[in-house]
Structure 1
């Protein structure tokens, strides 16, 4: 027998009632998953692990070099294609971080005032090539799959359901299931790399994914225990009504 959410939780749910969350499940045909539901692919040279957990689906990639020579990942020639739109793994803008410190003087006898100070800033250029030594790995957090809540899925696609939270407690949600053919979102990842000291020849690793389920709820990830364990095949988005 299912249980309702405890009374102590109701005030928090009420506070979130103006926010709607989408919990999105990603699938792929022919790609195996590990016990964290991350997608694992490999060839003779590399082992890649994809993890999409987090807000708006950050593409987190772990790459292991299986060879006895270095491997170079060329991010400038790598990209994600989301519903036929190309999104480069390397951002086009330069990130600048800085601070200002100074002082202001105002005269007591007039309206005159002056200020002086110093600005210190550092520009961060995105890494375009990653070096992976033999038998070593790197972890990379790249761009997001989506910029936010998907409002284009018709209401008719959703069905009311009970979501099992923990210890028999359930929450009312709406779910929409999709196949690869009718999914509202497809994306392909292209990873370009070279082997050894010669960078003249590039190899490409291509992997395809699609959204297989979207669950809508007024409850946050912490309330539903979703994404808390960094489940690799799920991400969430949110909107404020």
Structure 2
């Protein structure tokens, strides 16, 4: 068998009709609130709902093997809280930096622990930054409400659309005092988040917080290559 045939054979095993149909169903379910909102002349509110469901759906590759629904509900609560804080936060205010560091700390702990809330905290941090200065016509309260509705909708999309992992995660022990790799990761994620937040305050455009939202990427890359 040639190399090309081996690659094609592996692809056919990975991309099946069942997986394709499942992916299309998940994608359609995620954008469905926006479609319905557009048909009802409420496209902005529909897009907020879809944003919330998109973040939650993007969190998991496989469903947690144990306590599945509980973890999905906790993830939705985390997303809703972070986005709600974001929509009520002013860019450049003292609280903006305080919560940015708090969000980085929650992500750092869950990353080092390697638990199922690792990605929820990471993407909730994204939701926090991207909600800042994005107040819709109906006001910040309705943004928080519609975003939370999207997270709840995302729970059901994820629960019925994803398959369960075959084995549980291996959780790590946090030992910042004696583990230099963990120390470097903690410092790196704090610095990248803080620098990104500072630069965002001086960035033009309607979405300046894309920069701090992406600040966790190099920190996560560092963690992977340090093997913490």
Query: How does the TM-score come out when normalised to structure 1?
Result: 0.22
Larger Rg over CA atoms: 1
| Structure with higher RCO (Cα < 8 A, 6+ apart) | 1
Give the structure with the higher percent helix: 2
Give the strand-richer structure, 1 or 2. Answer: 1
